[in-house]
Structure 1
Amino acid sequence: AVFLGVLLMSGGVAAATTVSQRTDSPASLCIAVALAACVLAYDAWLKSTPLGPVAMGACRSLNVLLGATIAGSFQSLGQGPPLHVSVGMGLYIAGVTWFARNEAGTSNQRQLTAAVLLINIGLATLITFAGLATTDIDQNATTSVLMLMALIVVSINRRLIAAIRDPRPERVQSGVGILLLSLVMIDATLALAASGETAPALVIAALLIPALVLRRWIPMT
């Protein structure tokens, strides 16, 4: 598993090097190296420390930014959608990691509550992006996107509140499961917000099918 992970990471850095050469900008390579370093730091040292959720959130933020480096410059990353989405996703994943910290045992209710607050700050950041992005497309798209995000938020928080009230492992793990699966729908909704087209969103949403099938054999938590 370690060998495969290193191999895939090396392949990612190599691909980023190619992108940097073609765009004549070091952005892709720099972000890829930072992401690889963050992943290694999390697995080797930070996973069981208070910085674990921060590191995992940083990994997700850098992952979003890495995809955006196809635009080329660092300046394009620091303005508008890439930075906005990366911050929202980073906060969300940091909250998820914090929420799942003691999922195998009885979790602390205060910790769960704080994690849920962080998750919702991340969601609010993403909702703000979705609303702003669709405003430039049309009013109907804005309404549809915001309704979808509202449904996601309600679905997530219903499970999380239940876990806070009764922090047994099965409740917390159920909450973590819905948080991870909801990432697919969040991504699909953001794609709809950014493009105004349903086809990309439906393709992303379809990834829920293999995720639901595979969870029967591969635990999500």
Structure 2
Amino acid sequence: MTGRARHLRAWAELLRLPALFTVPGDALAGASAVGLRPGRGTFLAIGSSLCLYEAGMALNDWADRAEDAVDRPHRPLPSGRIRPAAALAAAGGLTAAGLALATRAGRPAALAAGALAATVWAYDLGLKKTPAGPVAMAAARGLDVLLGAAATSGRLHRTALPAATTLAAHTLAVTAVSRNETQGGDVKAPLGALAATLALTRITGRAPRLPAGRRVAAAPGLSGTTTAALAAAYAATAARPYLHAALNPSPPLTQRAVGGGIRAMIPLQAALAARAGAPLTALATASLAQLARLAPKVSVT
């Protein structure tokens, strides 16, 4: 491997490149929740979300560099493959880019992106190791869905709150498990995450209920079948690693459970889009899971 290739791989590790494919589905779920097809605003929201997500990844490792030097010396910063100053600069630049893209989608989208950016920085710099950490991370994912809805429609929508809450609840469960991924030993968190997964599967897998005047053209039968299939895929992706981590809460199985929870974001987002009456958007979202497999093989946690 050449020096340039090693440098690129280090950045791929820092930015958790495969996890990036879990981001566009937030905006697509938000657009579907308000009954609109993805448009210019949706894609601006996706661009903004991608930038803010990666800003959080870089900032996370910058903030954790001393701890990682002990627990994870192989990571890009403690191993010396990326300078801490470069990671911090990347976090700042990506945040600015994310806010600029959201501003182009309108004031409501800019407000949502501003709240999202503030939550990301607050989590990485102060809240992560406090009891409020999982709640902050969950709030960030919910705000990302609201960003997609606002950018697509040009205003903030209450109708996007159920989808935002669903993804926030899933994120809360994953984050609770991740707090013990280096030490292991916690049975309650993966058991709680397993229970949350089963509950969200049951809620999300129900037949779609489309409000009158919904502007998405959807075939109810297709939406119902797609919703059920995607909800089942969500459960299959998340439940098994949670169960394994609950039965044997070792660090490797706990890390595997966190990875499964992160990957399960995509079928959950797709199921929410299908439930909102947008089966084509749902299938497009689900295809991101296949694209993620083509990304460099680096850890998503």
* TM-score between the two structures when normalised by the length of structure 1: 0.82
**How far apart are the structure 1 equivalents of 2:208 and 2:262?**
23
Matched ranges for 1:47-196 at <5 A: 47-70=128-151, 71-74=153-156, 77-78=157-158, 80=159, 82-127=160-205, 131-133=208-210, 137-196=219-278
CA contact (8 A) 1:88 1:123 kept: no
Cα distance in structure 2, aligned partners of 1:123 and 1:58: 20
How many Å separate the matches in 1 of 2:200 and 2:133?
17
Counterpart Cα distance in 2 of 1:155 and 1:69? 29
Structure 1: distance between partners of 2:92 and 2:149: 23
Shift, 1:174, TM fit = 1.6
Q: Which has more helix, going by share of residues? A: 1
Letter in 2 for 1:219: S
Cα gap change, 1:29 to 1:155, in 2 (>3 Å): closer
Paired residues of 2:181 and 2:255 also in contact (CA < 8 A): yes
Please point out which of 113, 137, 140 is paired with 1:32. Answer: 113
Q: Distance in 2 between matches of 1:192 and 1:55?
A: 27
Q: Deviations over 1:184-206 (max 9, x none)?
A: 222233333435443x3343333
Distance (whole Å) between structure 2 residues aligned to residue 151 and residue 7 of structure 1: 36
Question: Residue 215 of structure 1: CA displacement?
Answer: 5.5
Counterparts in 2 of 1:213 and 1:19: CA distance versus 1, 3 Å = closer
Query: What amino acid is aligned across from residue 15 of structure 1 in structure 2?
Result: L
Q: Identity of counterpart residues, as a percentage?
A: 29
- Output one character per residue of 1:151-190: Cα deviation in whole Å (capped at 9) or x when no partner: 4214421221121011111211222222111212222333
Whether the aligned pair in 2 keeps the contact of 1:159 and 1:174 (CA below 8 Å) is yes
RCO (CA 8 Å, sep 6+): is it higher in 1 or 2? 2
Alignment CA distance shift 1:166-1:4 (3 Å)? same
SS of 1:28's partner is helix
* TM-score (structure 2 length as normaliser): 0.62
Matches of 1:188 and 1:117 in 2, distance apart? 20
Shift of 1:105: 1.6
CA–CA distance in structure 1, aligned partners of residues 255 and 296 of structure 2 = 13
Aligned pair count reads: 209
In the alignment, structure 1 residue 7 sits paired with structure 2 residue 85: no
Counterparts in 2 of 1:18 and 1:140: CA distance versus 1, 3 Å: closer
- How far is the alpha carbon of 1:96 from its aligned partner? 0.5
CA RMSD of aligned residues (A): 2.5
SS of the equivalent of 2:241 reads helix
Residue 72 of structure 1 and its aligned partner are, at CA, apart by 2.1
**Unmatched segments (≥5 aa) in structure 1:** 21-25
Write the deviation string for residues 40-67 of structure 1: whole angstroms up to 9, x where unpaired: 1001001111111100000000011001
Distance between the aligned counterparts of 2:95 and 2:204, measured in 1? 27
Residues 92 and 120 in structure 1, CA contact (< 8 A), matched pair in contact too: no
Q: Is the 8 A contact 1:62 1:86 kept in 2?
A: yes
Aligned equivalents of 1:126, 1:115: Cα separation in 2 = 16
Paired letter, 2:243: I
- 1:13 Cα deviation from its structure 2 partner: 1.5
